[in-house]
Amino acid sequence: MGRLFENGNLELFRDGFLQTVELSALSALFALLLGTLLAAFRVSPVPVLRVFGTVWVNTFRNTPLTVLFFAVVFGLPRLGVHFDNFTFAVIALSAYTGSFVCEVLRSGINTVQVGQAEAARSLGMTFSQTLTQVVLPQAARTVLGPMSSVFIALPRNSAIAGAFSVSELYHFQQTMTDLGYGIFLIFFWVALAYLFLSACVALIFRFLETRLAVAR
């Protein structure tokens, strides 16, 4: 341990860990917003929106994340869209994870009794009001378990960003390996960091499940 974290390597590990936290947190936020919007499209009475949501989800869920990173990092600049690699990583992770968030939310929406939505519409509420005020709050509580699996996987998925010059944990592992440090020791500390992040996400969702538990 001592040799691995000498000569400023501890600071590199810390920076990589914090970069992974930042990348995962931003991607989770945008994925949640995007996934909620896509779920609304999937159940919308407007055919064009339903088709758009379906095409988006089927495309991004079935595209390998590495391929998606290549498309974003090298494709968007050809279209005149220029950001740093960290921002490109957030875009790729958000688009990918958002498709899974959408499907989890949609499954929750399908568990809400149709009569509740019909009652809301009979009171004069619009589709948007019914969805946001009646359906989604109930759906969100029923899908906390599956949703936790999506966000627990996000920090691990962010490791792909290290191959695209984003200085997160996997990039730290690559750097230390290139410098000749023991690969098993490096993997141990990097894996421990990912395990810690996954445990934190799991605890957050466990807390939410306790606070928002659906009465059975």
Q: Which domains does the chain have, with CATH numbers?
A: 9-211 (1.10.3720.10)
pLDDT at 111: 83
Helices then strands, counting H and E runs in the chain, come out as: 10, 0
From CA 117, how far away is CA 115, in angstroms rounded?
5
Q: Would you state the pLDDT for residue 212?
A: 73
Of 43, 75, 39, the C-alpha closest to 56 is 39
Using CA atoms, how far apart are residues 48 and 54, in angstroms rounded to an integer?
10
Residue 31 and residue 99: Cα distance in Å, rounded? 8
Q: Which two tokens stand for residue 91?
A: 């875009």
CB 85 within 8 A of CB 164: yes
For residue 90, the Cα-to-chain-centroid distance in whole angstroms is 9
CA 203 to chain centre: 16
The pLDDT profile of the chain, 216 residues, written as one tens digit per residue, is 446 666 667 777 788 889 899 999 999 999 999 999 999 999 888 899 999 999 999 999 999 999 999 999 999 999 999 998 899 999 999 999 999 999 999 998 888 877 777 787 777 777 778 887 888 888 888 888 899 999 999 998 988 888 787 777 777 777 777 766 667 877 888 888 889 999 999 999 998 888 876 544
pLDDT at residue number 4 = 63
d(CA 88, CA 58): 21
Distances (CA, A) of 166 to 23, 64, 159, 170: 9, 19, 9, 9
CB burial readout 37-67, b (16+ within 10 A) else e:
bbbbbbbbeeeebeeebeebbeebeeeebee
